[in-house]
């Protein structure tokens, strides 16, 4: 008998990894099969113990499920998002969501996540501009070709099938990433920046 005692999140991660390890070692995984799973009803938020605040589980533009639109901020831990993943042989090969297209609903999500107007403009200005212009209802799914190749090739490491960087300068031309990192994030990672003096 095997059991784990801690939070649901941690025990799920630990027991899931152990299940896969035992499946490998005991030869219980049929490598010739392709099994698919459609995952939906994702939690909309997750609690950050360190920062004592809510974070978006998927991203801050994910739409709440219809039954949660009016009350997601009353019980964030139970709120469900309209988000979905496609899994192949235990690997996420595609994921997506329906997006928030109403500025008022988006503002309520940002309030819950404690994202200030300045942070909103810095991080998501291009998307906020689209909402202000009257973006229509929208959503979709993005498939990771690199992950599909990883599954098809039976390759255990994604880094062996992913193409880096996005361009020769390592920049994403659409979003301007990488953007400036907040000081608290640099502190958490133990990174200091030595900016040359003019």
Mean pLDDT of the chain: 88
Same domain for 4 and 62, yes or no, is: no
- Strand 83-88 to 53-56 pairing: unpaired
Q: How many separate domains does the chain show?
A: 2
Residue 147 covered by a domain? yes
* Token pair of 76 as six digits: 């964030």
The answer on 24 and 44 residing in a single domain is no
Q: Which CATH number covers residue 101?
A: 3.30.930.10
Name residues whose C-beta falls within 8 Å of residue 132's C-beta, 6 or more positions apart in sequence. Answer: 103
User: Is 130 within the bounds of a domain?
Assistant: yes
d(CA 180, CA 123): 9
What is the domain range of residue 10? 1-30
In this structure, is residue 176 part of a structural domain? no
Closest CA to 64 of 52, 49, 78: 78
**One domain, residues 53 and 12:** no
65, 88: one domain? yes
Q: Are residues 92 and 120 in the same domain?
A: yes
pLDDT in tens, 121-176: 888 888 888 888 988 999 999 998 888 998 989 888 877 787 654 666 767 766 77
Query: What predicted TM-score, i.e. pTM, was given to this entire model?
Result: 0.70
**155 and 59, same structural domain?**
yes
Neighbours of 106 (CB within 10 A): 20
Determine, yes or no, domain membership for 17: yes
């Amino acid at each position: 008998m095997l059991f784990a005692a801690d939070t649901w999140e941690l025990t799920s991660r630990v027991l899931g990894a152990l299940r896969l390890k035992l499946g490998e070692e005991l030869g219980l995984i049929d490598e010739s099969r392709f099994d698919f799973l459609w995952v939906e009803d994702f939690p909309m938020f997750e609690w950050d113990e360190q920062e004592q605040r809510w974070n978006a589980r998927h991203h801050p533009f994910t739409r709440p499920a219809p039954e949660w639109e009016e009350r997601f901020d009353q019980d964030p831990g139970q709120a469900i998002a309209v988000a979905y993943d496609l899994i192949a042989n235990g690997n996420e090969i595609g994921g997506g969501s329906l997006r928030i297209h109403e500025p008022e609903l988006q503002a309520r999500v940002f309030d819950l996540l404690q994202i200030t107007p300045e942070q909103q403009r810095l991080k998501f200005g291009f998307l906020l501009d689209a909402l202000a212009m009257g973006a229509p209802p929208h959503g979709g799914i993005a498939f990771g070709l690199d992950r599909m190749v990883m599954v098809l090739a039976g390759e255990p490491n994604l880094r062996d099938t992913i193409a880096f960087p996005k361009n020769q300068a390592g920049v994403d031309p659409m979003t301007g990433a990488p953007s400036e990192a907040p000081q608290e994030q640099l502190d958490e990672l133990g990174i200091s920046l030595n900016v040359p003096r003019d």
